[in-house]
Amino acid sequence: MKSALIVNGLSLSVPSSRGRVTVVDDISFDIPAGSKVGLVGESGSGKSLTAYSLMRLIKDPVRIDKGEIFVGGKEILGMNMKEFRHMRGNDISMIYQDPMSALNPIMRIGAQIIESIQLHTEVIHSQARKIAIELLASVGIPEPDRRIDSYPFEMSGGMLQRVVIAIALSGEPKVLIADEATTALDVTTQARVLTLIDKLAAERGLSVLLITHDLGVAAQFSDEIMVMYSGKLVERGLVNQIFSNPVHPYTKALLNSRCDYTIDVTKPINSIAGQPPRPDNRPEGCVFSPRCAHVQPQCREGVPPLISVQDRLSACFRAEELFEVGMVK
Ligand SMILES: Nc1ncnc2c1ncn2[C@@H]1O[C@H](COP(=O)(O)OP(=O)(O)O)[C@@H](O)[C@H]1O
Ligand SMILES: [Mg+2]
């Protein structure tokens, strides 16, 4: 299948008291055209920096040390900024976590959507207003011809996130990134917004990268899930593969530590022992080895590559073996 997005060997670093340290470590992945891929991992694992790289929003002191990113077949990191600005919004677009910070509080939402439409397409104001009303209707805003003149403070969080989605779609992008786009919303609104993104993705043939710390949200929405830990991609597979038989001990630990209604409340919740490493103190070998229930000496020596195991990808030396026996912990 054709890829809408390809990331090839992307590494990012930030300054620390010990000099520059790697926070996204040589990650490679693709998003097949028209598919929805979830990127999950604990806070600090490097998800947002990966997302910002795709939008070329990385600023000092964060740096991209190496890698290539192809959007619709075009490499964007080597492109001059003027050229990329034409692609941002038109080819690849992003929905951010906090709708209030993405919107101007003292400008009517309609004016903000119209501005975005006119940035991407040559249309006169009255036409842009018509398109804005259609966009508001498509993201499920009731009475869009009236609500278009509302200010952000007149709308609820869920409605604002719909406005932000309308703006993200105003340039008719092919790739949509949603970084914790529903995290700030209550559970019911979160489900509605996810259903909306799902519907819009199907209607518009979008390829979506859904970034979330919540494995349940990713599972509900995605075709495939990628798991990130301490700057590394450690597993990728179809949702049911990840849930039924993960082939990386970190994924298994994440599944065990999920706190939801499917968990037996009479038993304690298993949290993953220890903490993720600080970026300036990442271990040698496998980054998960200090916390891993299946660690062996080789795990502390070499870095396990992300390789194909049983129709998915795993960065664990013992993946094949653990798949055979089924992971106990
Ligand atoms: N502007 C910055 N300056 C220094 N360190 C940063 C900056 N932005 C992110 N980091 C560090 O990079 C790592 C990855 O951050 P981030 O991509 O935001 O993680 P996530 O989105 O998975 O929570 C974290 O350790 C974070 O502290
Ligand atoms: Mg983040």
Task: Please report the pLDDT score of residue 271 as a whole number.
Answer: 72
Closest CA to 182 of 198, 203, 202, 205: 198
CA of 43 to the centre of ligand 1 (A): 9
Q: What is the average per-residue pLDDT within 125-139?
A: 96
Residue with tokens 């600090």, as numbered in its chain: 44
Closest CA to 113 of 157, 87, 149: 149
Token pair listed for 147? 């609500």
The CATH number of the domain covering residues in 3-107+168-325: 3.40.50.300
Grouping H, G, I as helix, E, B as strand and the rest as coil, residue 253 is helix
Domain boundaries, given as residue ranges, for the chain: 3-107+168-325
Cα maximum dimension of the chain: 68
How far apart CA 147 and CA 264 sit, in angstroms, is 45
Q: How confident is the model at residue 269 (pLDDT cuts 50, 70, 90)?
A: low
CA of 15 to the centre of ligand 1 (A): 11
Grouping H, G, I as helix, E, B as strand and the rest as coil, residue 235 is strand
Query: pTM for the whole thing?
Result: 0.94
pLDDT of 101 above 90: no
pLDDT of 235 above 90: yes
From 36-45, 99-108, 138-147, the region with the lowest mean pLDDT: 99-108
Task: Please report the pLDDT score of residue 102 as a whole number.
Answer: 86
How far apart CA 52 and CA 58 sit, in angstroms, is 6
Q: What is the average per-residue pLDDT within 43-61?
A: 96
pLDDT of 17 above 80: yes
pLDDT of 328 above 90: no
Query: If 0-12 CB within 10 Å is exposed, 13-18 middle and 19+ buried, where does residue 42 land?
Result: middle
Residue 165 contacts by C-beta under 8 Å, 6 or more apart in sequence?
Answer: 95, 139, 181, 193, 196, 197, 200
How far apart CA 22 and CA 66 sit, in angstroms, is 11
Task: Please report the pLDDT score of residue 67 as a whole number.
Answer: 98
307 - beta bridge partners? 314
Q: What is the average per-residue pLDDT within 278-297?
A: 94
Ligand 1 pocket test: pick from 12, 13, 49 the residue with the most ligand atoms within 8 Å of its Cβ.
Answer: 49
Token pair listed for 222? 């995605």
What is the position in ligand 1's atom list of the atom closest to the CA of 41? 22
The pLDDT tens digits for 171-207 are: 999 999 999 998 888 888 889 899 999 999 999 999 9
Give the mean pLDDT of the chain. Answer: 92
- Distances, alpha carbon 83 to alpha carbons 77, 96, 196, in Å: 11, 23, 31
Protein residue closest via CA to atom 5 of ligand 1: 14
pLDDT of 131 above 70: yes
pLDDT of 106 above 70: yes
What is the position in ligand 1's atom list of the atom closest to the CA of 179? 21
Token pair listed for 160? 């604002």
Does 322 or 286 have the greater pLDDT score? 286
Strand order in the sheet with 207-212: 92-95, 175-179, 207-212, 36-40, 224-229, 232-238, 312-314, 307-309
Share of the chain above pLDDT 70, in %: 95
Residues 190, 191, 193, CA angle at the centre, nearest 5°? 65
CA of 262 to the centre of ligand 1 (A): 32
Residue 60 contacts by C-beta under 8 Å, 6 or more apart in sequence?
Answer: none
Task: Please report the pLDDT score of residue 329 as a whole number.
Answer: 52
CA of 271 to the centre of ligand 2 (A): 21
Ligand 1 pocket test: pick from 50, 57, 62, 180 the residue with the most ligand atoms within 8 Å of its Cβ.
Answer: 62
Q: Is the separation of the CB atoms in 233 and 242 below 8 Å?
A: no
Task: Please report the pLDDT score of residue 71 as a whole number.
Answer: 98
Does 262 or 106 have the greater pLDDT score? 106
Token pair listed for 313? 């990808």
pLDDT of 99 above 90: no
Ligand 1 contacts CB of residue 58 (under 6 A): no
